[in-house]
Structure 1
Amino acid sequence: MTETKPTGGAADSQDPLAAQDSPTAQDSPTAQGPGRERQNRIYRDGVFGRRPAIPTHFAALEKAARRRMSRRAWAYVAGGAGAGATMEANRASFDRHRIVPRVLRDVSRRDLSVELFGRRIPAPVLFAPVGAAELVHPEADVAIAQAAAELGVPYIFSNQGCAPMEDAAAAMDRVAGAGAAPHWFQLYWSTDEELVDSLIGRAERSGADALVVTLDTTMLGWRPRDLDIGSLPFARGEGIAQYTSDPRFVRIVKDRVRAAAGAKADVEVTWGAVRSLISMSRRYPGALAANLRSPEPRAAVETFLDIYSRPSLSWADIATLRDRTRLPVLLKGVLHPDDARRAVDEGLDGIVVSNHGGRQVDGAIGSLDALEAIAPVVDGRLTVLLDSGVRGGADVFKALALGADAVTVGRPHLYGLALGGRDGAREAVANIIAELDLTVGLAGLTSVGEVTRDSLS
């Protein structure tokens, strides 16, 4: 049997990003960069019959993850809106753009680092927020946080996380040292304004570098894979830990329970309902036995479903953030140049060009196509990230060439998480960064700052 093992790791002296961050490695004339370091180590391991535990090709990664994941997990993570046309559009937009390499240039040293909101990070790649990650792996957000900290790149904590943001931040600090590992926080704007303020305040106190307000999920999109098996993780208490750990939300739940005291509950008793109640009770703070007898876990789920998002959200609401937080604010889900222009006019700090991984509107524009139209409008006046459809380092290169300052990676790190937990999530993203490094060099460039529209046909 062929032995497999993870390749790399921040604690390993041969880890690609550790080598990149090392002043000695950068100054050395023999420094290879993260791409060559990583591929050379994989090839060296191959001499001994060892292969990487996390496939380096996305299609193989996805196939392996599907075999490992439950039906519910696969439906939630891999599924898209409607017939999946937007997911196809994301990939088609990357395929339409071609890199034009230049030759006979000294590319022996390459710099992938970028600065985002005053912090220098080793590569223009962030771990995207993905809700209900415990469907994929029990350690969920904490494992992802540790993986990001090992690589030194930001993790955007999901508002629909399975661990309180404070726990994920503490996990990053344990890996990298207090405050050394960057994280941002994704905000879903609740119908309860006090809850919005509470979540923002917690994000600030946890050390977040930025606030990312998600705009494209004021209602859930039509997702057939989830619908056909009747699976909404939040209805079972999965992915609502930011809420059940929030003092304002807990007060709302207790008020709801008090208001319903004495009322007869009209609940159909089925095995599915019993399993759902156990799931809710396991995830609600407190002892399982006590929670099974308490109305609070069920009331928490009902409360979440009632107030988690706000379809009436408007530019007027966004304008209030200047008085509510000191953090840089980015808007996630921008696809139209006019919305990007409005974000500039409103003094926002950044946007994330995203169609939510194709999970919200079927037949929507590919994110990379949207970026190509938006970047000239923004013209460097705010930070621009590209989300949705990124599968490898060449994709990152194309996004940078079309005007993105950085990208976020979603499904690849979830698939790595499914296969190897913390190590798998780290390896999946490290592979993308390694390929980016090689692509930059093979395109005849020495830094991501040199990647421009001229690099594409």
Structure 2
Amino acid sequence: MTDLRADDLRTLARQQIPAEVWDFIEGGSGDELTVAANTAAFAAARLRPRVMVDVSAVDTGVTLLDARLDTPVGLAPTAYHQLVHPDGEVATAAGAAKENALFVVAMFASRTLEDIAAPAAGPLWLQLYWLRDRDAIARLARRAAAAGFAALVLAVDAPRLGRRLRDIRNRFAVDGRVRAVNLDASLMAASHDRQAGASALAAHAAQTFDASLTWADLAWLRERSPLPVVLKGILTAEDAAAAVAHGAAAVIVSNHGGRQLDGAVATLDALPEVVEAVDGACPVLVDGGVRSGRDALIALALGADAVLLGRPTLWALATGGSDGVADLLRHVTDDLAHDMALAGRPSLRDVDRRLIRAVTNAR
């Protein structure tokens, strides 16, 4: 599996994953314009390599929230890993630990926080949605801190679930044998209830997500946990500045993999204005459309401190378990190091906007 690229993993995974689960993983909202835009933005970028630079040693190491990582490539939060592998997030965490890479665990993980943390040598962050049941959020935050998680990641782009037409057409509901075990069963019942002409996940979100979330609410979460709070779903300079003003420890430029507002700006296109607005006050991460070391290099050159893989994580987990996840991270990191050398940038400190040719608005 070591020589397989993300697209190869995707082909293999599609052969193994049931059709409606595949649509749940791969699908976006609406016409999936933003899903396509995320990858197209990377494909359109062009690099300006420098020559006659000593690249005999290339360093991909990075520090995020005081944790030293061997790679700026991490794993984005994706739900229900047991839908594609029986060991679920435990295997994913083990794979990330082998490469000393960041793993952001989803609120709707199918293994307990404590089991996920057990094999992890690298840092774990826990992603949260803002629920009407605030006690449930507080309980998860306490458990995450006790289990050794290093940060909370609040998804701020989901006051309601995007209209994911594949799930609606499939009447998608989570297999009853796979559950979001870190939340009370009563909170998750609707996600397993198959309904005519509807997505069970959308019905669940309508019942449980709190659409009244505002910037003022962040103080409530910060008061209830010693962990730093990262905001995921930032796409504009205005929101980036507000995140810094309200004490965000980091921001993640994300459009939810094209699964929320269809037609939203591609994350790579949003990245420069977010980086400019943050102005070094906190780390900036990005997800959405990252498939290779070249993609990672482009995002890092535009100011990201790290990139996160979403769908490729599930492809790798489905086809190779924990070793598959480790192989994916290793391959993308090796690819990044290779391209850094060819670009004349031996360390991440040398990777900046001068590497990217100015992109016109023709795309």
Deviations 1:150-172 (A, max 9, x none): 11111111101000111100132
Question: Which residue number in structure 1 is paired with residue 361 of structure 2?
Answer: none
Cα offset for 1:239? 4.2
Q: Distance in 2 between matches of 1:351 and 1:320?
A: 18
TM-score (norm 1): 0.73
Task: Say yes or no: does 1:120 pair with 2:61.
Answer: no
CA distance in 2, matches of 1:398, 1:227: 35
Question: Counterpart of 2:135?
Answer: 194
Letter in 2 for 1:205: A
Q: How many residues align?
A: 349
Residue 123 of structure 2 is aligned to residue 182 of structure 1: yes
1:166 pairs, out of 108, 114, 117, with 114
Tell me how far 1:61 sits from its aligned partner.
Answer: 2.1
What SS does the aligned partner of 1:342 have? helix
Cα distance in 1 between the residues matched to 2:123 and 2:335: 22
Distance, in Å, in 1 between the alignment partners of 2:262 and 2:144 is 32
What residue number does 1:409 align with?
309
Cross-structure match for 1:228: 169
Instruction: Determine whether 1:238 maps to 2:178.
Output: yes
Structure 1: unaligned runs, 5 residues or longer: 1-5, 8-51, 173-179, 257-271, 277-300
Could you say which structure has the larger radius of gyration? 1
Deviations 1:176-198 (A, max 9, x none): xxxx4211111112111111110
- Which stretch of the first structure deviates more once superposed, 111-120 or 317-326? 317-326
What SS is found at the alignment partner of 1:233? coil
Alignment of 1:286-435 (within 5 A): 308-435=208-335
Which residue of the other structure, out of 145, 150, 153, is the alignment partner of 1:212?
153
Indicate the residue corresponding to 1:285 in structure 2.
Answer: none
Query: Which amino acid counterpart does residue 240 of structure 1 have in structure 2?
Result: A
Residue number in structure 2 paired with 1:77: 25
Superposition deviation, residue 136 in structure 1:
1.3
Q: Helix, strand or coil for the counterpart of 2:104?
A: strand
d(CA) in 1 for partners of 2:179, 2:352 = 39
What secondary structure is seen at the aligned counterpart in 2 of 1:203? helix
Task: Within 5 Å, give how 1:48-59 maps onto structure 2.
Answer: 52=3, 55-56=4-5, 58-59=6-7
RMSD over aligned Cα, in angstroms?
2.2
Equivalent residue, structure 2, for 1:454: 354
Check whether the contact 2:79–2:109 (CA below 8 A) recurs between aligned residues.
yes
Unmatched segments (≥5 aa) in structure 2: 195-200, 358-363
Deviations 1:235-260 (A, max 9, x none): x463411114xxxx77x89xx9xxxx
Q: Distance in 2 between matches of 1:77 and 1:153?
A: 22
1:455, distance to aligned residue in structure 2 (A): 0.8
Q: CA deviation at 1:116?
A: 0.7
Distance 2:244 2:165 in 1: 36
Describe the SS at the equivalent of 1:185: strand
Structure 1 residues 318-358: Cα deviation after superposition (integer angstroms, max 9, x where no partner): 12223111111110001111000101111211110000111
Amino acid in structure 2 at the alignment position of 1:183: L
Structure 2 residue identity aligned to 1:148 = A
Q: 2:44 aligns with which of 96, 102, 105?
A: 96
When residues 307 and 199 of structure 1 are mapped into structure 2, their CA distance, relative to the original with a 3 A threshold, is farther
Residue in 1 that maps onto 2:197 = none
Tell me which amino acid in the other structure corresponds to 2:99.
L
Q: Percent identity, please.
A: 39
1:110 shift after superposition? 0.9
Does structure 2 conserve the Cα–Cα contact (< 8 Å) formed by 1:402 and 1:452?
Answer: yes
2:360 match: none
TM-score (norm: length of structure 2): 0.91
Is this contact kept in 1: 2:138–2:221, CA < 8 A? no
Q: Which runs of 4+ in 1 moved over 6 A?
A: none
Give the whole-Å Cα distance in 1 for the aligned partners of 2:107 and 2:76. Answer: 11
1:149 alignment counterpart: 97
Please say if residues 192 and 307 of structure 1, whose CA atoms lie closer than 8 Å, have aligned partners that are also in contact: no
Q: State the alpha-carbon separation in 1 of the partners of residues 256 and 222 from structure 2.
A: 25
Q: Partners of 1:237 and 1:441 in 2: how far apart?
A: 47
Contact 1:412 1:429 (8 Å CA) reproduced: no
Alignment-mate amino acid for residue 429 of structure 1 = L
Cα deviation code 1:71-119 (max 9, x no counterpart): 1221111111111100111112112221111111110001111111111
Which residue identity lines up with residue 15 of structure 2 in the other structure?
R
Could you say which structure has the higher helix fraction?
Answer: 1
Q: Secondary structure at the match of 2:182?
A: helix
**Counterpart contact for 1:112–1:447, Cα < 8 Å:** yes
2:160, 2:206 within 8 Å by CA — same for their partners in 1? no
